[in-house]
Amino acid sequence: MTSFDCKNKFKPLTEGTYLKNAEEYKRLYKQSIEDPNAFWYEKAQEFLTWDKSFTTISSGTLKQGNVKYFEDGYLNVYQNCVLRHKEKKPNDVALIYEADDPEDARTITWLELSEQVQLYARVLKHLGVKKGDVVTIYMSTSPEAVYAMLACSYVGAIHSVIFGGFSSEAIKARVLDSKSRFIVTQNLARRRGKLVPMKATVDRAIGGLDFIRSVLVDERVSNMKDQFEMKSNRDIDLKPFVSEFQKGGKYENENADLQAMSMNAEDPLFLLYTSGSTGKPKALIHTTGGYLLNAALTHKTVFDIREGDRYGCMADLGWITGHTYIVYAPLVNGTTTLLFESTPDYPRITRYWEVIDKWGLTQFYTSPTAVRFVMTYGTEPLKDFSLKSLRVIGSVGEPIGVEAWNWYFKNVGKSKCYLVDTYWMTESGAIMISAIPGVTTLKRGSATLPLFGINPQLLLNGDNPQNQELNLEKKSKKQFLEIAENSQSGILTIKGHWPSITRTILGNHKRYLDTYLNPYPGYFLTGDSAYRDMDGLYFIKGRIDDVLNVSAHRFGTSELESAITLHPNTVEVAVVGMPHKIKGEAIFVFCVLKDKRVDEKKTKNELKVLLQKTISKVATPEHIVLVDSLPKTRSGKIMRRILKKIVTKNYEISTYGDLSTLLNPDSVKQIVQNVKKLF
Ligand code: WTA
SS (H, E, C) 60-85: CCCCCCCCEECCCCEECHHHHHHHHH
Would you say the CB of residue 422 lies under 6 angstroms from ligand 1?
Answer: yes
The pLDDT assigned to 258 comes to 98
**679 against 7, higher pLDDT:** 679
Would you say the CB of residue 430 lies under 6 angstroms from ligand 1?
Answer: no
Left, alpha or beta for 658 (phi > 0: left; psi -120 to 50: alpha)?
A: beta
Would you say the CB of residue 447 lies under 6 angstroms from ligand 1?
Answer: yes
Average pLDDT over residues 399-422: 92
Buried b (16+ CB within 10 A) or exposed e, 124-137: bbbbebeeebbbbb
Question: CA of 633: how far to CAs of 276, 450, 529, in Å?
Answer: 13, 28, 22
Question: In whole angstroms, what is the distance from residue 202 CA to residue 43 CA?
Answer: 41
User: Do the beta carbons of residue 405 and residue 444 sit within 8 Å?
Assistant: yes
> Which phi and psi (to 5°) does residue 197 adopt?
-80, 85
Max distance between CA atoms of the chain, in angstroms, equals: 79
On the question of pLDDT at 616 being above 80, the answer is no
Tell me which amino acid residue 306 is.
R
The pLDDT assigned to 464 comes to 42
* Best probe residue, ligand 1, of 319, 367, 425 (max atoms within 8 Å of C-beta): 425
**Ligand 1 atom nearest to 274, measured from its CA:** 18
Would you say the CB of residue 315 lies under 6 angstroms from ligand 1?
Answer: no
On the question of pLDDT at 608 being above 80, the answer is yes
Banded pLDDT at 541 (limits 50, 70, 90)? confident
Q: Is the dihedral of CA 148, 153, 159, 165 positive or negative?
A: positive
* Residue nearest (by alpha carbon) to ligand 1 atom 6: 425
On the question of pLDDT at 471 being above 60, the answer is no
On the question of pLDDT at 293 being above 60, the answer is yes
Banded pLDDT at 551 (limits 50, 70, 90)? low
Question: CA of 272: how far to CAs of 93, 175, 269, 300, 321, in Å?
Answer: 28, 12, 10, 23, 11
Q: Is the dihedral of CA 530, 464, 613, 560 positive or negative?
A: negative
On the question of pLDDT at 459 being above 80, the answer is yes
**Nearest-CA neighbor of 574 among 635, 623, 507, 513?**
623
Which DSSP letter does residue 486 get? S
Query: Residue 416, Cα to own-chain centre: how many angstroms?
Result: 25
% of the chain with per-residue pLDDT over 90: 74
* Residue nearest (by alpha carbon) to ligand 1 atom 7: 398
Query: Residue 528, Cα to own-chain centre: how many angstroms?
Result: 15
Question: Which run of H or of E encompasses 640?
Answer: helix 640-647
Would you say the CB of residue 404 lies under 6 angstroms from ligand 1?
Answer: no
Average pLDDT over residues 217-236: 94
Banded pLDDT at 473 (limits 50, 70, 90)? very low
* Residue nearest (by alpha carbon) to ligand 1 atom 13: 399
The pLDDT assigned to 478 comes to 56
Average pLDDT over residues 581-595: 85
The pLDDT assigned to 666 comes to 85
The pLDDT assigned to 5 comes to 54
Question: How far is the first Cα of the chain from the last one, in angstroms, to the nearest whole number?
Answer: 40
The pLDDT assigned to 475 comes to 40
3-state secondary structure of 371: helix
Say which residues have a Cβ less than 8 Å from residue 484's Cβ, sequence separation at least 6: none
Question: In whole angstroms, what is the distance from residue 633 CA to residue 647 CA?
Answer: 19
Among the listed ranges 127-131, 154-158, 509-513, 614-618, which one has the minimum average pLDDT value?
614-618
On the question of pLDDT at 665 being above 80, the answer is yes
Mean model confidence pLDDT for the chain: 91
Interval between CA 543 and ligand 1 midpoint (Å): 9
The pLDDT assigned to 468 comes to 38
Interval between CA 556 and ligand 1 midpoint (Å): 14
Which DSSP letter does residue 517 get? I
**Ligand 1 atom nearest to 400, measured from its CA:** 13
Which DSSP letter does residue 440 get? P
**563 against 386, higher pLDDT:** 386
User: Do the beta carbons of residue 438 and residue 14 sit within 8 Å?
Assistant: yes
Angle at 635 between CA 634 and CA 638, to 5 degrees: 85
Interval between CA 113 and ligand 1 midpoint (Å): 31
3-state secondary structure of 289: helix
**Helix pair 198-206, 168-178: axis angle to 10 deg:** 50
Interval between CA 528 and ligand 1 midpoint (Å): 9
Taking the CA atoms of residue 242, residue 245, residue 250 and residue 254 in that order, the dihedral angle to the nearest 10 degrees is 140
Would you say the CB of residue 312 lies under 6 angstroms from ligand 1?
Answer: no
Question: In whole angstroms, what is the distance from residue 510 CA to residue 500 CA?
Answer: 20
On the question of pLDDT at 171 being above 50, the answer is yes
Provide the whole-model pTM. 0.83
Tell me which amino acid residue 131 is.
K
* Best probe residue, ligand 1, of 326, 423, 543 (max atoms within 8 Å of C-beta): 423
**11 against 115, higher pLDDT:** 115
Banded pLDDT at 558 (limits 50, 70, 90)? confident
3-state secondary structure of 186: strand
Would you say the CB of residue 528 lies under 6 angstroms from ligand 1?
Answer: yes
**165 against 598, higher pLDDT:** 598
* Best probe residue, ligand 1, of 367, 396, 525, 544 (max atoms within 8 Å of C-beta): 396
User: Do the beta carbons of residue 263 and residue 288 sit within 8 Å?
Assistant: yes
User: Do the beta carbons of residue 94 and residue 113 sit within 8 Å?
Assistant: yes
* Residue nearest (by alpha carbon) to ligand 1 atom 11: 423
Average pLDDT over residues 230-252: 97
Average pLDDT over residues 507-534: 93
Banded pLDDT at 399 (limits 50, 70, 90)? confident
* Residue nearest (by alpha carbon) to ligand 1 atom 22: 425
Beta-strand relationship, 93-98 and 182-186: unpaired
User: Do the beta carbons of residue 417 and residue 392 sit within 8 Å?
Assistant: yes
Question: Which run of H or of E encompasses 174?
Answer: helix 168-178
Interval between CA 455 and ligand 1 midpoint (Å): 17
Question: In whole angstroms, what is the distance from residue 312 CA to residue 364 CA?
Answer: 5
The pLDDT assigned to 555 comes to 66
Banded pLDDT at 117 (limits 50, 70, 90)? very high
Banded pLDDT at 467 (limits 50, 70, 90)? very low
Which DSSP letter does residue 536 get? S
The pLDDT assigned to 554 comes to 52
pLDDT digits (tens, 9 = 90+) for 32-71: 999 999 999 999 999 999 999 999 999 999 999 999 999 9
Would you say the CB of residue 421 lies under 6 angstroms from ligand 1?
Answer: yes
**37 against 656, higher pLDDT:** 37
pLDDT digits (tens, 9 = 90+) for 348-370: 999 999 999 999 999 999 998 88
Question: CA of 248: how far to CAs of 180, 238, 251, 253, 632, in Å?
Answer: 32, 17, 8, 9, 49
Average pLDDT over residues 603-612: 92
The pLDDT assigned to 275 comes to 65
Left, alpha or beta for 308 (phi > 0: left; psi -120 to 50: alpha)?
A: left
Would you say the CB of residue 428 lies under 6 angstroms from ligand 1?
Answer: no
Alpha helices in 315-360 (DSSP H): 320-322, 329-332, 351-359
Q: Which residues pair with 363 in a beta bridge?
A: 311, 392
Interval between CA 492 and ligand 1 midpoint (Å): 12
* Residue nearest (by alpha carbon) to ligand 1 atom 23: 397
Would you say the CB of residue 282 lies under 6 angstroms from ligand 1?
Answer: no
On the question of pLDDT at 624 being above 90, the answer is yes
Tell me which amino acid residue 465 is.
P
Banded pLDDT at 619 (limits 50, 70, 90)? confident
Would you call 541 exposed, middle or buried from its count of C-beta atoms within 10 A (0-12, 13-18, 19+)? buried
Average pLDDT over residues 538-555: 70
**10 against 293, higher pLDDT:** 293
Q: Is the ipTM of this complex over 0.95?
A: yes
Would you say the CB of residue 274 lies under 6 angstroms from ligand 1?
Answer: yes
**478 against 365, higher pLDDT:** 365
Average pLDDT over residues 182-202: 96
Angle at 413 between CA 556 and CA 339, to 5 degrees: 85
The pLDDT assigned to 659 comes to 82
Banded pLDDT at 474 (limits 50, 70, 90)? very low
**Nearest-CA neighbor of 529 among 518, 513, 545?**
545
Average pLDDT over residues 230-254: 97
**Nearest-CA neighbor of 44 among 5, 7, 9, 73?**
73
Banded pLDDT at 12 (limits 50, 70, 90)? low
Average pLDDT over residues 460-472: 48
Average pLDDT over residues 208-223: 96
pLDDT digits (tens, 9 = 90+) for 265-292: 999 999 999 865 444 678 999 999 999 9
Average pLDDT over residues 463-476: 41
* Best probe residue, ligand 1, of 525, 540, 546, 637 (max atoms within 8 Å of C-beta): 540
Left, alpha or beta for 427 (phi > 0: left; psi -120 to 50: alpha)?
A: alpha
